[in-house]
A and B are shown apart, each in its own frame.
Chain A
């Protein structure tokens, strides 16, 4: 979805390096998410943010940190990358508005393929 962009799309790095993955959105959504996808494990939530001042840990936050620089920008950092962080990373957004049953439909970016050697 062109409304949610991720940079870089591919990255190869070495163990111990600091890496930042960036996500930008033009959908005007309040909520943003970072997920990790590994083969056979589906998507797992790393961090999520409901507004600029609200950051929450997800299921697998160890080894990661995030920054919500603005409503439209949410960055994920790996302070010291390790090989088992090799994965496909997705950013997603959702709209806080809407009725209680439908507000959490999520819109995904194209993903960043990260390889840690």
Chain B
């Protein structure tokens, strides 16, 4: 399979704590994206980081990318119960015009 690997598969934290999810991939990429999925719903794009970028912020989200290690992390700071969802990384490999999705991390944030 060309899918990326995400860890952990599941994460449970209390409100106010930070949540970190990791993604590893296999091929050279144009960019890496993170998506969020509420239970049974469609995926929603959160943030995109280009292959020539190392870190990117958007509100409470911080994404890092290490192309030498073919890995990325998503940090959600000061988590809220509403952040409860599954989070997927997706890579946009060179010369494929397709996204490759990871298997996702299920985040549960307890009030």
Question: Contact: B42 with A104, CB < 8 Å?
Answer: no
Partner among B30, B52, B99 whose Cβ is within 8 Å of the Cβ of A106: B99
Q: Is A107 an interface residue (CB 8 A)?
A: yes
Question: Contact: A100 with B30, CB < 8 Å?
Answer: yes
Q: Is A90 an interface residue (CB 8 A)?
A: yes
Partner among A41, A101, A110 whose Cβ is within 8 Å of the Cβ of B31: A101
User: Closest Cβ of chain A: how far from B9's Cβ, in Å?
Assistant: 8
User: Closest Cβ of chain B: how far from A31's Cβ, in Å?
Assistant: 8
Question: Contact: B44 with A104, CB < 8 Å?
Answer: no
In chain B, residues 32-64, which have Cβ atoms closer than 8 Å to a Cβ of chain A? 33, 35, 40-45, 48, 50-52
By DSSP majority rule, is chain A's interface helix, strand, loop, or mixed? strand
Q: Which residues of A contact B2 (CB under 8 A)?
A: 59
Question: Contact: A102 with B42, CB < 8 Å?
Answer: no
Q: Is A64 an interface residue (CB 8 A)?
A: no
Q: Which residues of B contact A31 (CB under 8 A)?
A: 97
The size bracket of the interface on B is 20 to 34
Partner among B3, B44, B48 whose Cβ is within 8 Å of the Cβ of A1: B44
Closest to B89 in A: A42
Q: Is A78 an interface residue (CB 8 A)?
A: no
Closest to A58 in B: B98
Question: Contact: A43 with B98, CB < 8 Å?
Answer: no
User: Closest Cβ of chain A: how far from B99's Cβ, in Å?
Assistant: 6
Q: Which residues of B contact A4 (CB under 8 A)?
A: 42
Contacts A42-B3, A102-B31; A109 near B99 (Cβ below 8 A): no
Question: Contact: B103 with A48, CB < 8 Å?
Answer: no
Can you list 7 residue pairs at the A/B interface with Cβ under 8 Å?
A: A4-B42, A43-B88, A45-B98, A105-B48, A108-B35, A111-B40, A111-B41
B residues near A, CB below 8 A? 2-3, 30-31, 33, 35, 40-45, 48, 50-52, 88, 90, 92, 97-99, 101-104
A residues near B, CB below 8 A? 1, 4, 31, 35, 40-45, 48, 50, 58-59, 88, 90, 92, 100-102, 104-111, 113
